[in-house]
Structures are given as structure tokens and as C-alpha cells.
Structure 1
């Protein structure tokens, strides 16, 4: 680990400005010279001994996210943000906190600071249902969504490696490419049939290309039985075999 003879203290020195959210690191930045870059955030927080993981998963699977409006699921509302590429929550035991720890990993377009600005849109109630299960999270009547997001930011840890299939393409560009592909297929099939006037078909095709694209609905898989199936408790035992 210390092959360059650097101390842990040196390795933990901030390499970016603290910014509005007190972040220690900018996170890994993925890009290959295109118009877009992908950022990542990873954090960890000690879970309370009586943490309610059922309430946590219910928040993600059933609660109405406030930024999406009435009737929106977690996936639908997250799609509307046009920002988050992937996100993951999981729980593990760590020696750092002497018990169970909540981990959160996310990849997104835009800056890390803007990402946390948007995080406030989750609202105090929804943020509390997740991070309120953690030790030290502000949950009193005077606590605000910003207070909770500042707490989340303080849990940031460094990521050793990260991968994104197309970091130079923004989510909007990916949606547009999928939209044009479907419209081009439709045009090709119409031409192949030979029905109607070709000039009219070409005009209709270009008209369709100019229309706004429909976002591709994101997906969310949530293990609502996680509180009863601790799949990682025997990992050390399995690795020692």
C-alpha cells in the first residue's frame, strides 16, 4: 500500500478546494476528450444499532420522490433529473465503526458540487429515511435538508478505480442517439416497403428527427428482503476455505 513511501496522513491531504459542501476530494473524473465527463462519489457512514433497513428500502422502492412530483416512482423521478448514471447502496461490517456501515456509490454527469446541490431536492424527509439510520446524521426539528447533505458529504471516501462505458457522451446524448436510431429504423422499413412517395417519406423522416427525444426510462432494482438475508456475514469464512 505504501510503495511510494507516503504516509497515510500525506495520502489523506485534500487535493481540491473544500467547496460549498466541504468535500475533501473531487472524486474520480472519467472522460476521453469528448464534450462530457463522468464524476463519481463514494461514501460510508456508521449505521445505528437499531437501523431500520426496511424503511430504507421502502423509501427507494415505494416512497414518492419529492423532486419528481405526484405519482412518480424512484426510477421515473431519477430519469427526470437527467444527471445520475448509476447509484448503489449496500451495507457491510467494518472495523472503522465497529459495526455495520452504509455505503453509497454514485456516478453522474456534471460537477460534484452541483450533484450535492441537486441532492437537496430529495428533501429532509426522504434523506432522513436513508441517512437518518446512520450515527450522527442531523435529524432534529431544526435540521434541514442541507444539514443532512453536508453530513453525507463528510462521509466521502476515495475510490480506487471506476469504469464507465461512454463517459464522453452525456445522458442526453445517449437518449438522442437511441431516439435517432429508432426513427432511422422506421424510415428504412418504410422505404423498403416502397409505399408512398419517397420525397414525402424523406421529408417526414427529417421532421421526426427534429422532434424532441423521449428519455429512456431508468431502472432500479431494490432488495426489499435485505434486512433478513445478510449475504456478506460469512464472506471471511468462505474466503478462508
Structure 2
């Protein structure tokens, strides 16, 4: 895990984020950001965007998790709300880990489109809006909310998502082949040829999932944490 203090970002990022698996076949990057929520932020609309509406990049009929799986880059992402000393009221936090560069990650953010981006970050103070605002303007606003991460963890930083999918695919095909051979009722040469043929076929992406609290707008965030930890 390391970081580099230089800034070559086209998005004005002040910090390149933590890098895991440096020197291996793959590197995992992370981004953490925070933005002040508007006093009248509609978190029901926020969760509706993630749970029911189709992301632009996924095409027709794709859910948020299905479309995100298609990108093949995002390993994990989460949004949550908390109080901080930086802003009055509540703050929106966003944390993500992904393959590829931080710049490329924000380039891909533009693919969400202005409408989808503003359904999330439009709930925040200062987010560009109006007919003249563009998706790039909104993404630049998102990038400006960056904060440093103290520590993060990834179980397979040296493996890309594509490599993980392929390993899972090969394991399943090998297990199927072993079980077929153990029965002893087939031609071994034909079985081996069929097995190698299956290995050569493109692997299918492992299904991803998204867990969304659709009640968050009705059941507000905890305000008694200090009390519970004895402060």
C-alpha cells in the first residue's frame, strides 16, 4: 500500500489515493469524498436512483448492480450520511475501490450522464445545476470533495476483476470435468477434448450485487452515537 504526492490529474484531484498491490499484475485504487447535504435533501429519491432507475452506461433493462458489473472495474462502493464538524447539518460520504487509474475512474463517471449524477450529488450544497451545467461540471464537483483515506484493505489487489472471473469460471469447468471423469462411463479422450474446448470459451462475469436501504429517507441517521460510546 503506498501513495504518491504528485498530482497529474486532469480532474484537479489533490491526492492520488492509496494504491494496493503495487508491483504486481494489478493495482487497486481508492477514492473517498465528502459533501454537505442540502437541508431538504431527498434521500428517498437518492435511493430510488440506485435501486430502480436504469444507469445510462448499462443500456435498457439493466439494474444498477448489473450495469456496474459490466464496467469490470469497480470492486466496491458505498454511500453513507453522517454529521461532521466541517459542515452544518449532514454530510454525504462516498467510498469506492476500483481497478485502473483514478483519472480513468472519473472519466468513466461522466458516462453516468448529468441527470443520474445530479440525482445523487444534486442533493449536495454547491453541486452544479441548471441547463448550462454539464456532466463534467458535476464530476469536477465530486472530485473536489476528495478527502484522504487513512487505511483500506482489499483481499486480491494483485488480481483484476477479469482474472478473478476467469479463475472462478475455470474452477467450475474443472470441477464439472473431474466429476464426469470419476463416473468412468465416458470416453476419456472425448471428455478431455470437450474440457479444453470449454476452457477456451469466454468466461461469464460473476454476478455482483447492490444492497440499498430504501428506508433511509424515513428512518434518519443515528444522532446518539456519542452517547453510545460514552462520550
TM-score computed with the length of structure 2 as normaliser: 0.96
| Moved >4 Å (runs of 4+) | none
1:149 to partner: Cα distance: 0.2
**Are residues 1:179 and 2:169 paired?**
yes
The structure 2 residue matched to 1:101, chosen from 70, 91, 95, is: 91
Q: What stretches of structure 2 of length at least 5 have no aligned partner?
A: none
**Are residues 1:110 and 2:100 paired?**
yes
1:125 to partner: Cα distance: 0.4
Correspondence for 1:4: none
Correspondence for 1:41: 31
1:87-143: CA deviations, max 9, x gaps?
000000111012100000000000000000000011100000000000000011100
The structure 2 residue matched to 1:141, chosen from 125, 128, 131, is: 131
Q: SS where residue 67 of structure 1 aligns?
A: helix
User: Quick one: distance in 2 between partners of 1:196 and 1:120?
Assistant: 53
Correspondence for 1:189: 179
User: Quick one: distance in 1 between partners of 2:224 and 2:218?
Assistant: 14
**Are residues 1:227 and 2:231 paired?**
no
Correspondence for 2:9: 19
1:215 to partner: Cα distance: 0.2
User: Quick one: distance in 2 between partners of 1:146 and 1:187?
Assistant: 49
1:32 to partner: Cα distance: 5.3
Q: What stretches of structure 1 of length at least 5 have no aligned partner?
A: 1-13
User: Quick one: distance in 2 between partners of 1:60 and 1:178?
Assistant: 27
**Are residues 1:238 and 2:228 paired?**
yes
Q: SS where residue 147 of structure 2 aligns?
A: coil
1:37-76 equivalence runs, <5 A: 37-76=27-66
1:177 to partner: Cα distance: 0.1
Tell me the matched-pair count.
228
Correspondence for 2:67: 77
CA contact (8 A) 2:82 2:221 kept: no
